[in-house]
């Protein structure tokens, strides 16, 4: 069973059925850009940091790095308690707060649970003349605990986890051609011969430059929802394929536009999507309904003076201002 919740990550972890465990978690929190982030839902509106022509507010992103780390720590702890044995967490950040959050995450999971980091180059951003422009984002990768490292799933042979060989390597080493015309090289390691084909590429490293962010952030592509800092489906597909199997549960408790849940559903995984932002959850549910995904709305506590839970599925995508515990643009 899959779930969607209009709730903070702490609430979502507390409200889910006891038997629900996360096999993979992707978390895309605010980055601390110092602005109210807005969505583009109609022609003529702008998305991103709020200005006069902006669309509806999606979430607040004004916390400094220390405040972001403090906000995330208890939520990471709650998520850790929901992670299955051998589960993996991907924590998506940028240069503004990644160092502070890394220290906080090490305290939650233990330094021995840190599996490494992925550097993603979205392919956009200004190029300044006063120094090196920051043109990458960082995904911190954790096991549930250090003792689980050997149990962590990684589908190394999935085609999405391969990349082309470097041109220098191709020209220097792939000089043999088999009967079918395929270029290859052979290496003998400890007396055993291994053959590598040029057209199969090599296993993917930790620097990803082949997934442009623009495909998810333009109204001329079907994938774009107008939600600020939406991540490309290809990015989440690579993560889901790498660290989960069909039928397992993929969680994104700061789900933004719902990319993680949409990809998980398409790939035959169960999903848990949650966010504090009504706008985020409305867009997520509309997106999931559009691809025929089935899910259950988690019953959330009564909020404020309205005397009602969050809006029903398909509610008006108006958005409201929430604290920075709302999701980024997943």
For position 308, what pLDDT does the model report?
31
Strands (E), 233-310: 249-252, 270-275, 296-297
Q: How far apart, in whole angstroms, are the C-alpha atoms of residue 109 and residue 111?
A: 7
pLDDT of residue 311: 36
Q: Is 279 exposed, middle or buried (0-12, 13-18, 19+ CB in 10 A)?
A: buried
**CA-CA distance, 11 to 274, in Å (whole number)?**
9
Residue pair 42/318 in contact (Cβ under 8 Å)? The answer is: no
- 210's tokens: 């082949």
Select from 298, 302, 237, 289 the least CA-distant residue to 268: 237
For the chain (330 residues), the mean pLDDT of every run of 10, in chain order, is 97 97 98 92 82 87 96 98 98 97 98 98 77 93 97 96 95 96 95 95 96 83 88 97 98 97 98 96 96 92 42 37 54
pLDDT at 52: 81
Question: How far is the C-alpha of 88 from the C-alpha of 170, rounded, in Å?
Answer: 34
Instruction: Take residue 317 and report the two structure tokens written for it.
Output: 């995508």
Residue ranges of domains in the chain: 3-126+134-157+204-297, 165-200
Distance CA 93, CA 255 (A): 14
Beta strands in the chain (DSSP E): 3-6, 22-27, 35-38, 48-49, 57-61, 83-93, 114-120, 137-143, 162-163, 176-177, 183-189, 192-197, 202-203, 207-208, 249-252, 270-275, 296-297
Q: Which of 245, 251, 247 is nearest to 82 (CA)?
A: 251
Q: What is the pLDDT of residue 316?
A: 39
Q: Count the neighbouring beta carbons within 10 Å of the beta carbon of residue 310.
A: 23
* Contact (CB, 8 A) for 330 and 257: yes
Minimal CA–CA distance to 254: which of 225, 238, 221, 231? 231
Q: Which residues contact 25 (CB under 8 A, 6 or more apart)?
A: 79, 83, 87, 88, 89, 90, 250, 251, 252, 253
* 124 Cα distance to chain centroid: 18
Q: Domain spanning 3-126+134-157+204-297 has what CATH number? A: 3.40.50.150
Gap between the Cα atoms of 37 and 327, Å rounded: 11
What is the per-residue burial (b if ≥16 Cβ within 10 Å, else e) of 112-129?
ebbbebbebbbeeeeeee
pLDDT at 126: 63
Q: What is the pLDDT of residue 49?
A: 86
Q: How many whole angstroms separate alpha carbon 55 and alpha carbon 194?
A: 56
């Amino acid at each position: 069973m899959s779930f969607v919740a209009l709730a903070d990550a702490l609430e979502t972890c507390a409200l889910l059925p006891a038997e629900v465990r996360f096999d993979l978690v992707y978390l895309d929190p605010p980055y601390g850009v110092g602005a109210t982030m807005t969505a583009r839902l109609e022609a003529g509106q702008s998305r991103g940091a709020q200005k006069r022509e902006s669309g509806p507010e999606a979430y607040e992103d004004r916390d400094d790095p220390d405040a972001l780390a403090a906000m995330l720590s208890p939520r990471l702890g709650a998520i850790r308690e929901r992670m299955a044995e051998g589960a993996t967490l991907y924590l998506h950040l940028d240069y503004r707060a990644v160092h502070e959050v890394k220290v906080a995450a090490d305290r939650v999971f233990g330094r021995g649970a840190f599996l490494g980091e992925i550097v993603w180059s979205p392919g956009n951003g200004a190029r300044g003349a006063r120094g090196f422009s920051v043109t990458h984002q960082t995904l911190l990768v954790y096991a549930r605990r250090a003792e689980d490292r050997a149990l962590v799933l990684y589908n190394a042979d999935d085609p999405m986890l391969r990349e082309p060989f470097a041109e220098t390597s191709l020209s220097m080493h792939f000089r043999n051609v088999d009967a079918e015309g395929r270029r290859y090289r052979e290496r003998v390691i400890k007396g055993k011969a291994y053959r590598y084909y040029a057209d199969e590429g090599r296993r993917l490293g930790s620097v990803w430059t082949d997934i442009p962010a623009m495909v998810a952030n333009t109204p001329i592509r079907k994938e774009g929802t107008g939600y600020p800092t939406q991540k490309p489906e290809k990015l989440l597909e690579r993560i889901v394929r790498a660290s989960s199997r069909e039928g397992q549960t993929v969680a994104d408790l700061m789900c933004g536009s719902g990319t993680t849940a949409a990809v998980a559903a398409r790939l035959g995984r169960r999903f848990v999507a949650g966010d504090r932002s009504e706008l985020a959850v409305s867009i997520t549910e509309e997106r999931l309904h559009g691809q025929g995904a089935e899910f259950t709305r988690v019953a959330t506590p009564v909020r404020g003076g309205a005397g009602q839970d969050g809006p029903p599925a398909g509610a008006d995508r108006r958005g409201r201002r929430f604290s920075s515990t709302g999701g980024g643009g997943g």
